[in-house]
Structure formats: structure tokens, C-alpha cells
């Protein structure tokens, strides 16, 4: 038997094993990161074509950078918004959305700001780091969705109070939204199974969520082409891309 066949057989065994363990369970969580959107054309932060290779995130995606030079930060975000606006969900996002129709107590906790889980049809989504296709006022409570692109000149101005608008994302140096975080903690503490997909788990506090789930007895299943710093604590590690693994794995449950 060649290596490919060996790998395929190993994977089928893991899939069957996972299926037997989770089929009768109800509360599922998908903790996702940049890797799941890579095959939709959105670069990850790390890796050869990661965003960090081209830009200094501490200048371009930090709260201090924003207040120092909002125009520069907005130019960076406008570039990313246009990239994201034109991307579509891939089979990884779609299979998670389809899975929610079968197991209704499923949640997506995503670090991604690209809105692709929503575009794919998932309903129960917690966007831990916000959404790049939304804006909010730095002063009043005004919030809006971006249509096709942000109008020049930059930075855009609030139509209610005329102060500067900002992207609705968590910038470096900012805490997560407390309400959003508490909900994510509560869901992680109560789940039966957590899939950890396309995240290096290098970013805190989100990388604590699998630990909460495990502490409360959940089964952890990681899907990633590369092992992460947390692979050792996983119950299952399925090596591969989200688009290759998820449709097959979630399709059999
Ligand atoms: P990361 O860049 O640190 O890690 C990406 C992970 O995805 C890696 O472990 C990599 O091995 C894995 N990966 C690569 N290709 C994959 C594939 N095809 N299928 C599955 N996994 C794959 O990303 P992170 O852990 O999400 O943390 C980075 C931060 O950057 C997050 O806070 C996020 O908000 C932000 N970010 C978001 C986007 C987005 O919205 N799409 C893109 C870049 C960065």
C-alpha cells in the first residue's frame, strides 16, 4: 500500500472514531481562525504569505496607531475591506453552516473578522474580534455596515456627530468586548465538543477557550495542516486543510 492509501485509511479510521464519540452529543463549538479563510483568498497572519510579512501590525492595526494616524490605518483597512468584500465562503465554512442545521446547539466562535461564516449561512456566531465590514463611531453609538467600499476621503466621518469613524474590529492594545467574551466563555464551558479549526492559538485570551472546554469534559478536535502549541492537549488532531477535512468529517455525523 502506498503512503497516500495509508494516510487515507488512517484518516477514515480517525473520522469513524470521532463519529462514534460525538454522534449522540448536542452542544458543539467551532473555534475558528484565519486558516479557515485562507482558501477563500484571505491571507493568514503567520505563514509565508501572511499579512504580517507585508505590514507592521503594531502600526497599522493598533489602537495607538489609529489615534496617531487614522488616515494611514484607514488606508490599510480599506485595502483589507475590499479584499474581504470580494471573497466567498469555502467548503469549510459551508460544512459548518450545514452542520448547524443538524445539530442546532452549535456555535461558531471566530477570531476572524471577515464575516464569511455569516455569508456561508451560520446563525449562531460570536465574532470575538469584530467584523471588518462594519464601522462604528469613536464617540457616539453610531454603527453601520460597509456597502461596497468606504467612501474617500479617509478617515470617514460619522454622519450623526461628525467625529471619526473606526473599523468595528478589536485593534491591538484593546481588550475584547466584555459581553462578547463572557458569552464565549459560557459557551465554551458548557459544550460537549469543540472543533478548533485554522487557528495557531497564539492569540490570547481566545486561546484559553479550549482549556475551559476541556476542563469541563468536552472532546477537543483540532483541524490544521500544522500542529499547534496546544495539539498535545487535543483528544484528536486531524492534519489537513479545513476545506479538505471539514466536509468529510462533518458530513458523516
Ligand atoms: P494565525 O495566522 O495565527 O494562524 C493560522 C493557522 O491556520 C495556522 O495554525 C495554520 O497552520 C492554519 N492553516 C493554514 N492554512 C489552513 C487551512 N487551509 N485550513 C486550516 N488551517 C490552516 O491565525 P489566528 O490563530 O486566527 O490568529 C491571528 C489573528 O489574526 C486573529 O486574531 C484574527 O482576528 C486575525 N486575522 C483574521 C483574518 C480573517 O478574518 N480571515 C485573517 C488574518 C488575521
Name which residue sits closest to atom 40 of ligand 1, judged by CA: 112
User: What pLDDT is recorded for position 2?
Assistant: 47
Average pLDDT over residues 224-236: 98
User: What's the pTM?
Assistant: 0.93
Is 90 exceeded by the pLDDT of residue 64? yes
Q: What is the CA(25)–ligand 1 centre distance, in A? A: 28
Is 90 exceeded by the pLDDT of residue 48? no
User: What pLDDT is recorded for position 43?
Assistant: 81
Would you place residue 1 in the very low, low, confident or very high pLDDT band (cuts 50, 70, 90)?
very low
Q: What is the CA(173)–ligand 1 centre distance, in A? A: 19
**Helix axes of 3-22 and 242-251: crossing angle, nearest 10 degrees:** 50
Atom of ligand 1 nearest to the CA of 42: 41
Atom of ligand 1 nearest to the CA of 129: 34
Q: What is the CA(46)–ligand 1 centre distance, in A? A: 7
Name which residue sits closest to atom 6 of ligand 1, judged by CA: 199
pLDDT above 70 coverage of the chain, percent: 92
Is 80 exceeded by the pLDDT of residue 47? no
The DSSP line for the chain is --HHHHHHHHHHHHHHHHHHHHTT---EEEEE-HHHHHTTT---SSSTT-HHHHS-HHHHSBHHHHHH-HHHHHHHHHHHHHHHHT----HHHHHHHHHHHHSSSEEEEE---S-HHHHHT--SEEETTEEEEEEEESSSS-EEE--SSPPSSSSPB-TTT--BEEEEEPPBT-PPPHHHHHHHHHHHHH-SEEEEES----STTGGGHHHHHHHTT-EEEEEESS--TTGGG-SEEEES-HHHHHHHHHHT-
User: What pLDDT is recorded for position 26?
Assistant: 96
The predicted-structure confidence for 156-168, as pLDDT tens digits, reads as follows 999 999 999 999 9
Tell me how far apart the alpha carbons of residues 115 and 12 are, in angstroms, rounded to a whole number. 31
Amino acid at each position: 500500500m502506498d503512503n497516500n492509501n495509508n494516510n487515507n485509511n488512517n484518516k477514515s479510521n480517525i473520522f469513524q472514531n470521532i463519529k462514534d464519540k460525538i454522534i449522540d452529543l448536542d452542544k458543539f463549538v467551532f473555534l475558528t481562525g484565519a486558516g479557515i479563510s485562507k482558501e477563500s483568498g484571505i491571507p493568514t497572519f503567520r505563514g509565508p504569505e501572511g499579512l504580517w510579512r507585508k505590514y507592521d501590525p503594531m502600526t497599522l492595526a493598533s489602537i495607538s496607531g489609529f489615534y496617531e494616524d487614522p488616515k494611514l490605518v484607514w488606508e490599510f483597512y480599506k485595502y483589507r475591506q475590499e479584499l474581504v468584500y470580494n471573497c466567498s465562503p469555502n467548503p469549510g465554512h459551508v460544512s459548518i453552516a450545514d452542520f448547524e442545521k443538524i445539530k442546532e446547539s452549535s456555535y461558531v466562535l471566530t477570531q476572524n473578522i471577515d464575516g464569511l461564516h455569516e455569508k456561508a449561512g451560520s446563525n449562531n456566531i460570536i465574532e470575538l474580534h469584530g467584523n471588518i465590514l462594519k464601522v462604528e463611531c469613536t464617540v457616539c453609538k453610531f454603527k453601520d455596515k460597509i456597502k461596497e467600499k468606504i467612501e474617500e476621503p479617509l478617515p470617514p466621518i460619522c454622519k450623526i456627530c461628525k467625529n471619526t469613524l473606526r473599523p468595528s474590529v478589536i485593534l491591538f492594545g484593546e481588550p475584547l468586548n466584555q459581553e462578547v467574551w463572557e458569552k464565549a466563555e459560557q459557551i465554551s464551558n458548557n459544550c460537549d465538543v469543540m472543533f478548533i479549526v485554522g487557528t495557531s492559538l497564539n492569540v490570547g485570551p481566545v486561546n484559553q477557550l479550549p482549556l475551559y472546554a476541556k476542563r469541563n469534559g468536552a472532546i477537543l478536535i483540532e483541524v490544521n495542516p500544522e500542529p499547534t502549541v496546544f495539539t498535545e492537549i487535543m483528544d484528536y488532531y486531524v492534519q489537513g486543510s479545513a476545506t479538505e477535512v471539514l466536509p468529510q468529517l462533518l458530513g458523516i455525523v
